[in-house]
Amino acid sequence: MVRVQDMLLTVRSRVASTFKDDLIAADQGRFGQEAEVTINDAPVGALAYYVVDIVVKHKNGKLAAIFPATSEEKALSATLFAKELELKNIDNVVPFLVFKNAGTSRISRDTQAKAMNSEIQLATWDGGHSEVLDKIGRHVRN
């Protein structure tokens, strides 16, 4: 019975949820003193139909809109959000698409290419948690 429960922890939806939860906790831990970290928030009034998984609202007015790349839909939504920011000249919001690992097969190659060629900031969680948080920090603090 224990082995069946152990196997349930490896189901894709559970692993994706754990990755998102880890990313949320890390952002709250790193930026909690200097920024407000909100979950499932629409950071831009003019783009209220874009709900972002994690928003880091720094005291200086800059925002990081963080999309964990847990699905094809999420990656496409992040890329489209980045394009909307660009078209509307909204420069105080920096969009991020954070992959759980660099060799992900959950996101198609075409979508990965679209994200890479957009204005969105890309990061990979397995490349180092601290490095991802440092990158987010550099963009919201400047």
CATH of the domain at 43: 3.40.1350
Rounded Cα distance between 97 and 78, Å, is 7
Q: Determine the 3-state secondary structure of 56 from DSSP.
A: strand
Task: Provide the pairing of β-strand 35-41 with 52-58.
Answer: antiparallel
Domain range spanning residue 11?
A: 2-141
Q: What letter would DSSP give residue 126?
A: G
Residue 40's alpha-carbon distances to 2, 30, 51, 116, in angstroms, are: 34, 19, 6, 24
Those residues whose C-beta lies under 8 Å from the C-beta of residue 34, and which sit 6 or more positions away, are 58, 59, 141
Domain count for the chain? 1
Upper half-sphere CA count for residue 83 (Cβ side, 13 Å): 11
User: Model-level pTM?
Assistant: 0.86
pLDDT in tens, the chain (142 residues): 556 555 555 554 444 568 999 999 999 999 999 999 999 999 999 999 999 999 999 999 999 999 999 999 999 999 999 999 999 999 999 999 999 988 767 899 999 999 999 999 999 998 789 999 999 999 999 8
